[in-house]
Amino acid sequence: MARVADNRQGASLPVWRRVSQWGGEARGYSRNVYLLLLFTLGKGLQLSIGQVTLSLNAYSIGDLQEFGRLLIAVPSIGPLLAAIPVGFLADRLPRKPLLIITGILNPIALALIGLTTNAPLMLAASFANGVLSSAYWVTSIPMLTESVAPRQRVGVMSLNTFLMLGVGSLGGLLGGAVPEVIGAFTGLSASAPLPLRWGVVAAAVAVFLPTIPLFWLTEHRPAADIAAPSAPHDTATVTIHPSVRAIPLLFFLLLVPDVLYTAGEGAVVALEPLFFKLRFHLDPGLIGALVAGGGLLVGVTALLAPSIVRRFGKLRVITTAQLLSAPIALLIGYAPWLWLAALAELGRNFLRGAFEPVYATFAMERVDARFRARLSGFYSLTWSIGFSLGAAASGWLQRNVNLSIGFLLGAMLLATAPTWLLLAFARDPNAD
């Protein structure tokens, strides 16, 4: 009952008061939080630059569409082998070295992809990129979860999402601009191999620079799962209780919908740059602008997540946003006009921002702190399986049927995932 009262009071505050409280909480974060968020920003820039340049770079080498699709799928195979062992290690060993290792070696792998034209070497570096990135996904979310009090978790995850997908999405502009600049300097087309390679190198630089401050991270004990009052005059506190279900069953209930959802995302997102190029004949600069605009919208929406959760609850926000993503995916794939497909893509990103930080908090709070890194490891595994299978299936359908049918597959999967979550957790008294 205390939680219900807290939620209602938080939801009834004026917007300026909520923004003021959120800003006060952000100023009170520990140094670890700021360092982790800085690294998240670099990771976001790297991913958005790579989203524009990696597939186009591979496609430009001999004009091989199949190689481009393979290069996209290979990084998601790396966590299949590394995510679970890294997760178990991160629950037993200090997590700081894992982040530093990935921050140093990941840019090297990306630079190899950009600087070589040897297809086997590119695939090997792409595989290494996936293996090294798994350490970030496995450690960062548990570390952020444990670095703040429970009442701050949705807020810090929202800021994390804002930096990763919002500010980080500006890398999409860089991903489109770097080939344009190099092309103008060399007299080549922006879609030529050389300009696109330097776009990939820019992604490597973006993730390397914020690695240096990680040496100042400090190891700490997880914060107790006791939430402070959510309003100034409240005296009630809220205890966050992990689920009483056995860990194998709980992991199963949490991970199956993630496989389904990420498969839907893979079917829709992985080949979008190539889809817009082939369907609407966009150049890299315009594709980069669309990626950047969508990512920025994700980040801005994510900042609203704490207020939305206080009003509706975590599970309802997650499942409603995921369900609405399904018809929007269909609209992207079957829109007859570029402007309508672009608006639908922005709408998909709006919904993603509404639930992304909430989903991370929801999952971490279902389990005890001792198991959070390994749960993140399994999530990295399910992301790899789901995204690679979704991208591969969508690519096959696009090649053998038509460009749009992959979006139909994505919509079906995106609608199935939240249905599973509702069946598994709708009656859980601790779900919100």
Residue with tokens 């389990």: 367
Residue 363 located in a structural domain: yes
Q: Give the 3-state secondary structure of residue 238.
A: strand
Entry pTM = 0.69
Residue 41 located in a structural domain: yes
Task: Give the residue numbers spanning the domain of 397.
Answer: 2-218+243-425
Q: Is the torsion defined by CA of 316, 318, 319, 323 positive or negative?
A: positive
Residue 330 located in a structural domain: yes
CATH number at residue 197: 1.20.1250.20
Each of the 432 residues of the chain gets a pLDDT tens digit; together they read 333 333 334 444 444 455 455 555 556 688 889 999 999 999 888 887 887 787 677 777 654 556 666 776 677 677 777 778 878 877 777 778 878 888 899 999 998 888 887 878 888 888 888 888 777 878 888 888 877 777 788 888 888 888 887 777 677 778 878 888 888 888 887 777 788 888 888 889 998 999 999 888 886 655 445 444 444 434 344 455 555 566 778 888 888 888 899 888 888 877 777 778 777 777 777 777 777 777 778 878 888 888 888 888 888 889 998 999 999 988 888 888 888 888 888 888 888 888 888 888 888 888 877 788 788 888 878 877 888 788 888 778 877 777 778 888 888 999 998 999 888 888 776 666
Residue 56 located in a structural domain: yes
Q: Give the 3-state secondary structure of residue 359.
A: helix
Structure tokens given for 56 = 């186009």
β-pairing verdict for 226-227 and 238-239: antiparallel
Give me the number of domains the chain comprises.
1
CA 375, CA 388: separation in Å to the nearest integer?
20
CA 192, CA 19: separation in Å to the nearest integer?
46
Crossing angle of the two packed helices 305-312 and 2-12, in degrees rounded to 10: 130
| Bridge partner list, 227 | 238
Residue 230 located in a structural domain: no
Among 109, 135, 132, which Cα is nearest to 122's?
Answer: 109
Residue 229 located in a structural domain: no
CA 249, CA 166: separation in Å to the nearest integer?
34
* CB hemisphere CA count around 241 (13 angstroms): 8
Residue 126 located in a structural domain: yes
Residue 22 located in a structural domain: yes
DSSP state of 271: T
Among 18, 43, 17, which Cα is nearest to 303's?
Answer: 18
